[in-house]
């Protein structure tokens, strides 16, 4: 597991286009686009305002999931965003 505790910051030049229930991320360097919705969108926002533990708690509030499972899921998701270069510490 690679991720630190957070909060994290989005890649500096990342462009976020917000739809009603979805976030579209455009990386102008690579011209790649990513879409976040539902849990992914919740965690994208939570990871920028708090720690992984905070995000895991939010996940348990929104969804019926034990805290340890939520914590593992948030770590895994944060690692994917870090690997993709969308977030940094």
Of the candidate residues 2, 5, 17, 88, the single one contacting other proteins (CB under 8 A): 17
Shortest distance (Å) from residue 39 CB to other proteins: 16
Shortest distance (Å) from residue 4 CB to other proteins: 25
Of the candidate residues 2, 33, 67, 76, the single one contacting other proteins (CB under 8 A): 33
User: How many Cβ atoms from other residues are within 10 Å of residue 82's Cβ?
Assistant: 17
> Stretches 22-30, 42-50, 66-74, 75-83: which one binds other proteins (CB under 8 A)?
22-30
Alpha-carbon separation of residue 83 from 11, 16, 65 (angstroms): 12, 18, 25
User: How many Cβ atoms from other residues are within 10 Å of residue 4's Cβ?
Assistant: 13
Of 82, 74, 77, 85, residue with least CA distance to 14 = 85
Which one, 9 or 19, has the nearer CB to other proteins?
19
Q: Contact, 61 vs 70, CB < 8 A?
A: no
Which one, 26 or 82, has the nearer CB to other proteins?
26
């Amino acid at each position: 597991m690679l991720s630190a505790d957070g909060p994290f910051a989005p890649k500096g030049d990342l462009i976020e286009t917000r739809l009603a229930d979805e976030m579209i991320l455009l990386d102008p360097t690579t011209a790649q686009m990513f879409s976040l919705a539902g849990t992914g969108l919740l965690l994208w926002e939570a990871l920028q305002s708090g720690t992984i533990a905070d995000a895991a708690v939010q996940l348990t509030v929104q969804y019926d999931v034990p805290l340890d499972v939520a914590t593992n899921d948030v770590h895994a998701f944060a690692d994917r965003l870090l690997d993709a270069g969308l977030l940094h510490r």
